[in-house]
Structure 1
Amino acid sequence: MDPECSQLLPALCSVLADPRQPVTDDTCLEKLLDWFKTITEAGSSLLLLQENPCLLGLLCHVLKPQDLSPRVLAFSLRLAGMLAAQEDCFQYLQQGELLPRLFGEAGPSALDSVPAEPRFLLSLPLSPTPGAVDTIFSLQGDSSLFVASAAGQLLVHVLGLSLQGPAEGHPGLQTGDWPVCAQKIASHIEESLRSAATPQITQALNVLTTAFGHCHNPWTQVLWVRLSPLVASLLEKDPVPAAHSLVDLLLSVARSPVLSSSSCGLWETLAQTLSHLSPTQAGPLALGILKLQECPQALRAQAFAVLLQPLTCVLEATAQAPGLLGMLLPEGGRVQEGSPRGSWARPCLAPHGRHLTWPQNSWVVMRACTTCWFPTQDRHTLASRLGASRLCDRGRATAPAVLVLEGRVLHLSVSGPRELVTQVFAVLLEYLTSPDSSPTVLKKAFQATFRWLQSSPETPGCSDLDPHAQLFLRDLLPVLPKRLCSPCWEVRDSGLEFLTQMIGRWGGQAGFRHALLASEVPELTEQLLRDPESYVRASAVAAMGQLSSQGLPLTPASPEHPGGQQSLLAELLHILSTDSEGFPRRAVMHVFTQWLRDGHADVARDTERFVARVLQVASRDLDWEVRAQGLELALVFLEQTLGRPSSHCPYAVTPPVAAPPSPLAQAPRPLCRVQLFEFAFRALFDCDRPVAQKSCDLLLFLRAQTASYSGPQGSGSVPEVASVEAALQRWQAGEQGQPLGYLEPEVVVAVLRSMDLEGLRGALAESSDRVEKSPRSLLQDMLATVGALGEDEADCY
């Protein structure tokens, strides 16, 4: 322990032991315990007590009858448990029977109020004795869910502790040969499973879930063999009690390497559970089974069938109604006479190995995943045939599973007959046009549409869309404006994201450009720059940036804006300067950085003026990500000035031994004209560490690039260097100060060479709260809150 901390610790123990000094900050006590835990894990608990007798004094003081705060009492007991975890310290604390007096029945009078702190239970240095176990049993029924949960965890720890040794090496050992404490716990769990009270069954199932999830010793197999018949017998009750906890237990057992590989009837129990639970209860279990590494094929098929129950229900109902069935079958498709209802769909839903084999007519599954494709009158017919409440219950029961199913179907790659692709496009278009599609389904449909278009066959030697995809796009573009005008902001946002992806992929193709410009999409996108929702404004900025990058005219030419495009640059600068939300401003910085990297026409007209304006605005932004992106833009400008291709990660480079001398000699001057150095120097002392780190890397990179630079004067004779260094010291101290203004290149190079940027980078690499969260700071602040220290000694922890 640090000597300064050792000097402060006695005073703190006196404060904690004084009932007149209430400690109201639980967070400080938690951090104090974390500190002690770090010390005990790294060294001897006994040595800690011997070097700091005030700790032992605090534990003894807790035994005195007094009105001690429950928080302090819980802290003291948890500290005692932490110290007693080491055997030599346990024996030391046993002298004078300190531990029995602390944790026994004759312990502190305020002990009844302590279990409100759940982690207190896990610190108890309990020996696995029947009396201690009875206490844990009673705490399982505590009114606090946190305490009840912690009691169950402690019960598992005690069970594992009592079985260390003989039972670990003998998988065949019967529970009757277990130690008394372990037998008592196993019997208690057994009695709880036989109970008619659901809370007791829940407690037992939760304890077993924790045991099988965290303990992978052979004794878990012995315990499961004994208790699995009782677990299976729960399925005979109607309704099945504690179904959620039962599902958690079975999945925990199935994931256990000890139990899943043994022949203990686990897979049969899982199959029975799937059959007995309601759709709402069986859905999570079925999903969990499909994720298991090892699972019998028959059980996997059964789990998949559970997930598709709503779909099966719809298919069977439509098989009885030719009009509805015709909406799902391919054109001209028929169901053979005498075939079982829905049998035509079953092959396409059968699992194959660990993967799902989808049919060539997978679009049928897509249409059947939701009833939104049925016209209103047909939907009413379907609902009456299925039972409206039954249909709704099944839909709600497996809604997450259906979303997973839709995600898999919608992300199929385009392979197969051209008719299949055309049919899939038709279904996707129905998703996008249907007024019943939820925002989540629309987002998935937009994503799936882009993937299908992206993977559609291309004409050899041409990267344009194939004719079928162009026809689909021709039908889609009239739909997109409706989505961009949706009253739901999530829909507008999804539409803009889809548009941005499309422009980035096919913005340079004549067919796409013509279809896009013939629609209302560009004008609506520009209007969404002023959307009330910040996420939508940010997505609109990205879309407009892509449109402009592809040279698509956004604003008609006018006498005020002959080029048409210039108004977008001005509007984006306005957003960067005035938008109240960070997301649109971040999007603008990303667009500007990409424009500079790609040589956008409006940026290339006067690159230095553009960079200077953007950096000036970004330097005043309150969002650290905007300032960090400003450094990324500065980096791109620096690389272009040096005549090198832009790179996203240039910081780990070696000094440029082969750099051409002529551009290098002139490099600092344009950087000074755009005031890049002032922006970087201010960012170097930014209060947000990521910004400071990025600036430090940038300046190190720049110093390496200008290593061979020599101005008209020697760097040591420049009088302005001292004033610049003084200004940087004031900035580092937290003062804002006046701007540096234009700096001569030789001044900047001299300042860079004089700065300890490597040391600063090392300091920034450390935790930003390394000093503030030191143990000394914690002790000082805890003492200062009760007036035990002067104000000057507090460290504002």
Structure 2
Amino acid sequence: MDPECSRLLPALCAVLADPSQAVADDTCLEKLLDWFKTVTEAGSSLLLLQENPCLVDLLSHVLDLKPQDVSPRVLSFSLCLAGTFAAQEDCFEYLQQGQLLLGLFGEAGPLSWAAWSVPTVRSGWIRGLRSLAQHPSGLHFLGNSGAVDALFSLQGDSSLFVASAASQLLVHVLALSMQGKAAGSPSSQGNAWPACAQKIVDHVEACLCSTAAPQVTQALNVLTTTFGRCHSPWTEVLWGQLSPLVAHLLESDPIPAAHSLVDLLLSVARSPVFASADCGLWETMARMLSCLSPTQAGSLALGILKLQHCPQALRSQAFRVLLQPLVCILRATTQAPGPPGLLDETSAGSSMMVDTLLSSKSACVGLLCQTLAHLEELQPLPQRPSPWPQTLLVEAAVIILQLCDGSAVPSSSEGGRLCGALAGCSRVQRAALDFLGTLSQGISSRELMPQVFAVLLETLESPASSPMVLKKAFQATLRWLLDLPSPSSCLDLGPHAPLFLRELFPVLQKRLCSPCWEVRDSALEFLTHLTACWGGEADFREALLASEVPKLTWQLLRDPESYVRASAVTAMGQLSSQGLEAVSESPGHPEVQQGLIGELLHILSMDSEGFPRRAVVRVFTEWLRDSHADVARDTEWFVATVLQMVSQDLDWEVRAQGLELVRVFLVQTLGQPNPHCPYAVTLPKVTPPGPLPEVLRTLCQLQIIDFAFRALFDCDRPVAQKACDLLLFLREKTAPCSGLQEPGNSSDVTSVEATLHRWQAGEQSQPLGNLEPEELLAALRSLDLEGFQGRLAESSDHVEKSPQSLLQDMLATVAVLEENVADCY
């Protein structure tokens, strides 16, 4: 330990031991514990206590105080600290000599104090024992001190955090007790279990036989964690002993702790110990699938289908269970549920599913949302069932959306009741749209596209669609349009897409004029992504230019909502890149006549919100990277104008994006960076760079160098990091040049260096001026850019996180609190 920290520890321990002193911040105590853990892991805990007896005095003093005088936070800290020291066996024995550990963790200690009612104390007690239980002596202590029995009761604690920690500690003790046990020991009867392990197993058995659901849940949670973490041979013996009790739970009606039971079975199935074992697990799972309610069975079915190794018969059963709600939906409407025999179900199973769907609106909504989410999760997995019933799933998603918007045609009384339950339900609409979007991948035919496009158009047109439903509908539409089958040479939109686009753009126009800003924003995002992919296709260009969408997008550059303005900037940038921006035919659009660059520059200089300004600089960077026609006409004027505004912007993200624009310009001017550099990018071929002196003078004249050096000393670290990388690249590209290495006038170079030092100190009023190439190169060499890079990569609080600083801060806080205590009379 650092000598200065050892010097400060006695004073801090005295503060912690004094009931009249208040430690201001619990976070400080947690940081202190982390530090002690680091110190003990690096050396001897016993030596630490012998060199700093104040630590033992603190633990002893906590026990000597009257229970009502002990601060709960200090007591919790002391328990954790004692466990940290006792994690090493020799230190454990040292603390045991004075019965200190028994006083802290035994039944006569905090368990009997009033402070035990505070969850923080109970949590600290568990954490201390968790640290202590690392060796045989610690396990023996837990078994003899009554701690294990206390953990049993804490499993049902009112604090979920405490209850979970108690279960986790029981699993840890069980695993530690069984460490190194061979496959054949203990025996299947359990007569060779170590004492601690036997006590835990007996408790779990008793809970599994209990008629109280909370006790069953606690036992199942312990077993779930055990099989999830422990993959030793003894876990197979444990399962063989307890699996009959687990299976017996299925005979109850209703099944107790069904969700926890599902978690347990899946945890056992995932364990590599049971990969090839014949332990009756699959039979139990199959039986449980038929016993659980539809909602509970769905989670088990999904878990089974995600397993790497599972009997095919069980997988088929699980998939049928997962598809049952959709089959009932299809049967209740005009759709047929796929080829005969695909989803044959027992009449009892189908009847139970229908009863669940029709029992209440909340049950119907919950079951459908869960089913759609499960199938969405399963769809991209390589182990999903094959053949995958794509047609059935698409038809089911379409029908569900039609039930929600009222356009479905029920074929039975059940269908009519479903229409009533799902009408206008935005929660089911969102789930169905998400699922429909995932089904766009891997579609083998275009037969389903007309009905998919039709229901998406209905959703986008409906005045009842909420903003979030519209956002999901735009996302699903985008996925289906972008995932259309296409040959490798060019995008073939096929017969359905052009017609759909002609119907889509009038709807998009309507949404761009929505009074709800979230809808306008979603519509602009949709337009941006669609244009990026299809901007070069004739059908798309024709449909877009025949609509009012480009002009409406331009008008939204002046939208009152900043998020919408930012999205409009991005959309207009994409439209302009594809040559699809609006063209005014009347003098009524002065902003169109001045050009898009002028409009975006106006936003960059005048918009009061950061989002639109950031979007403008991102668009300008992409235009420069792609050699946009308006930028290529006068690139130097463009860069200089943008930087003049960006350098004065108060938003650090705008300044950082401005440095990205500079980087693109430098690469185009000086050539590609070293491929090993982290900031290397791929850019289109540009005009070969001119002679280096002229290039450097141009950089200075455009104020690029001034902007980069100022950004190097920016108070926002991301900006400074980007500037440092930029200057390192510039130095690398100019280093091999001869004839420019020696400056012509050393006094000028000294002046430049002095200016940079003043900037670094925060005085940036003096401009750098137009540097000569020699002065620029000398300034680059004079800066320790690698040192800057290293310091910028460090955490911003690397100095304040030192242990010495932590101790000083805690002592200073107590002093401040004392100074603020005053008699108000």
TM-fit CA distance, 1:72: 1.2
Contact 2:551 2:582 in 1 (8 A): yes
**Other-structure match for 1:409:** 439
Q: 1:181 to 1:538 in 2, by over 3 A?
A: same
Provide the C-alpha distance between the structure 2 equivalents of 1:82 and 1:398, rounded to a whole number of angstroms.
Answer: 50
Show structure 1 runs of 5+ residues with no match: 319-323, 344-348, 654-658, 792-797
Q: Which amino acid aligns with 2:168?
A: Q
**1:642–1:566: structure 2 CA closer, same or farther, 3 Å change rule?**
farther
Which residue does the alignment assign to 1:321? Answer: none
Q: 2:711·2:719 contact (CA, 8 Å) conserved in 1?
A: yes
**Aligned residues of 1:283 and 1:397 also touching (Cα < 8 A):** no
Alignment of 1:700-711 (within 5 A): 700-708=728-736
| Aligned equivalent of 2:18 | 18
Matched, 1:669 2:683: no
In structure 1, the partner of 2:153 is 138
Matches of 1:360 and 1:192, distance apart in 2:
45
Query: What does 1:440-519 correspond to in 2, within 5 Å?
Result: 442-443=470-471, 445-456=473-484, 463=491, 465-487=493-515, 489-519=517-547
Partner of 1:225: 240
Find the residue that maps to 2:330 and give its secondary structure.
helix
Contact kept? 1:279, 1:398, Cα under 8 Å: no
> Quick check: 1:190–1:227 contact (8 Å CA) kept in 2?
yes
**1:242 is aligned with what amino acid?**
A
Structure 1 pair 192/712, CA: closer, same or farther in 2 (3 Å)? closer
> Compared with structure 1, are the counterparts of its residues 381 and 524 closer, same or farther at alpha carbon in structure 2 (3 Å cutoff)?
farther
**In structure 1, distance between residues paired with 2:458 and 2:422:** 22
TM-aligned CA distance change 1:522 to 1:608, over 3 Å:
same
Matched, 1:606 2:621: no
- Distance in structure 2 (CA, Å) of the matches to 1:128 and 1:389: 60
- The 10-residue stretch of structure 1 (745-754 or 733-742) with the greater mean CA deviation from structure 2: 733-742
Confirm or deny that 1:764 pairs with 2:788: no
Matched position secondary structure for 1:740: coil
- Give the one of 743, 757, 776 matched to 1:715: 743
Deviation at 1:647, TM superposition (A): 9.3
RMSD: 4.0
Deviates more, 1:424-433 or 1:381-390: 381-390
State the SS of the aligned residue for 1:105: coil
The 5 A counterparts of 1:523-534 are 523-534=551-562
CA-to-aligned-CA distance 1:11-70 (integer Å, 9 cap, x gap):
222221222221131100001111111122222222222232222222222221242322
Amino acid at match of 1:3: P
How far did residue 648 of structure 1 move?
Answer: 12
**Residues 227 and 404 (structure 1), Cα distance of their counterparts in 2 relative to 1, 3 Å cut:** farther
Residue by residue, what CA displacement relative to the aligned partner does 1:294-345 show, whole Å, maximum 9, x if unpaired? Answer: 2222222233233323211112223xxxxx349x99xxx999xx999999xx
Q: Give the equivalent residue in structure 2 for 1:773.
A: 801
Superposition pairs for residues 238-277 of structure 1, below 5 Å? 238-277=253-292
CA 1:652–1:172: 2 relative to 1, 3 Å: farther
**Per the alignment, do residues 25 and 790 of structure 1 end up closer, same or farther by CA in structure 2, a change over 3 Å counting?**
closer
Report the counterpart of residue 59 of structure 2 in structure 1.
59
Q: Which TM-score applies when normalising by structure 1?
A: 0.86
Within-5 A mapping of 1:383-422: 384-385=414-415, 387-388=417-418, 405-413=435-443, 415-416=444-445, 419-422=447-450
Matches of residues 734-745 of structure 1 in structure 2 within 5 Å? Answer: 734-745=762-773
- Confirm or deny: 8 A CA contact 1:283 1:398 kept in the other structure: no
Alignment match, 1:298: 313
Equivalent residue letter for 1:675: Q
- Tell me the CA shift for residue 454 of structure 1: 4.0
Paired position in structure 2 for 1:147: 162
Deviations 1:141-174 (A, max 9, x none): 2222221111111111222222234466637543
CA distance 1:538–1:375, change in 2 (3 Å): closer
Q: Confirm or deny: 8 A CA contact 1:554 1:565 kept in the other structure.
A: no
Offset from partner CA, 1:244-267 (integer Å, 9 cap, x none): 322322222222222354222222
Correspondence for 1:753 among 771, 774, 781: 781
Mapped partners of 1:389, 1:373: distance in 2: 5
Structure-1 residue corresponding to 2:41: 41
- Does the 8 Å contact 1:642/1:663 carry over to 2? no
Task: Evaluate the alpha carbon distance shift between residue 257 and residue 583 of structure 1 in structure 2; reply closer, same or farther with a 3 A threshold.
Answer: farther
Q: How does 1:272-671 map to 2 (within 5 A)?
A: 272-318=287-333, 324-325=334-335, 354-359=384-389, 361=391, 365-368=395-398, 370-372=400-402, 376=406, 384-385=414-415, 387-388=417-418, 405-413=435-443, 415-416=444-445, 419-422=447-450, 424-426=452-454, 428-430=456-458, 432-433=460-461, 442-443=470-471, 445-456=473-484, 463=491, 465-487=493-515, 489-556=517-584, 564=592, 566-642=594-670, 651=679, 662-671=690-699
Task: For residues 228-276 of structure 1, give each alpha carbon's deviation from its aligned partner in whole angstroms, at most 9, with x where no partner exists.
Answer: 2333333333333323322322222222222354222222222233222
The residue that corresponds to 1:100 in the other structure is 102
Contact map agreement 1:597 1:646 (CA 8 A) in 2: no
Contact 2:656–2:718 under 8 Å retained in 1: yes
How many residues align structurally?
Answer: 768
> Greater CA deviation, 728-737 or 594-603?
728-737
- Which residue identity does 1:600 align to in structure 2? H
Greater mean alpha carbon deviation, residues 669-678 or residues 735-744 = 735-744
* Distance across 2 between alignment mates of 1:468 and 1:620: 50
CA deviations over 1:687-718 (Å, ceiling 9, x no partner): 33332222111101101222255788942724
CA distance in 2, matches of 1:624, 1:267: 58
Distance 2:426 2:272 in 1: 33
2:540 and 2:407 map into 1 onto residues whose CA distance is 38
Supply the AA of the counterpart residue of 1:38: T
Equivalent-residue separation in structure 2 for 1:692 and 1:359 (angstroms): 54
Letter in 2 for 1:248: D
Aligned mates of 2:30, 2:91 — CA distance in 1: 22
**Aligned mate of 2:203, from 188, 193, 196:** 188
Decide whether aligned partners of structure 1 residues 150 and 558 sit closer, same or farther in structure 2, where only a CA change above 3 A counts.
same
Q: Is the 8 A contact 2:505 2:547 kept in 1?
A: yes
Q: Does 1:784 align with 2:825?
A: no
Task: Give the counterpart of 1:116 among 116, 120, 124.
Answer: 120
- Checking the alignment, whether the CA contact within 8 Å between 1:784 and 1:790 is kept in structure 2 is no
Return 563-572 or 92-101, whichever deviates more: 563-572
Flag the 1:516–1:60 CA change in 2: closer, same or farther, 3 A.
same
2:361 corresponding residue in structure 1: none
Per-residue Cα deviation, 1:609-654 (whole angstroms, up to 9, x for no partner): 322232233334444332221111011111222255999966479x
| Superposed CA offset, 1:479-511 (max 9, x none) | 322333445555443432332222222323333
Distance 1:622 1:239, change over 3 A: farther
Residues 724-768 of structure 1: CA distance to partner in whole angstroms, max 9, x if unpaired? 433433433345544435444433222111111111112222333
Q: Is the 8 A contact 1:372 1:437 kept in 2?
A: no
Q: Percent identity?
A: 67
CA distance in 2 between counterparts of 1:401 and 1:267 reads 31
Task: Tell whether 2:96 aligns with 1:82.
Answer: no
Residue 31 of structure 2 aligns with which residue? 31
Alpha-carbon offset, residue 386 of structure 1: 6.6
Secondary structure of 1:354's partner?
Answer: coil
Q: Deviation at 1:133? A: 1.2
Q: Which amino acid aligns with 2:192?
A: D
Task: Quote how far apart the aligned CAs of 1:534 are.
Answer: 4.1
Instruction: Name the counterpart of 1:346.
Output: none
Tell me if structure 2 keeps the 8 A contact 1:140–1:203: yes
- Structure 1 residue 564: deviation in Å? 4.1
Greater Cα shift, 78-87 or 245-254: 245-254
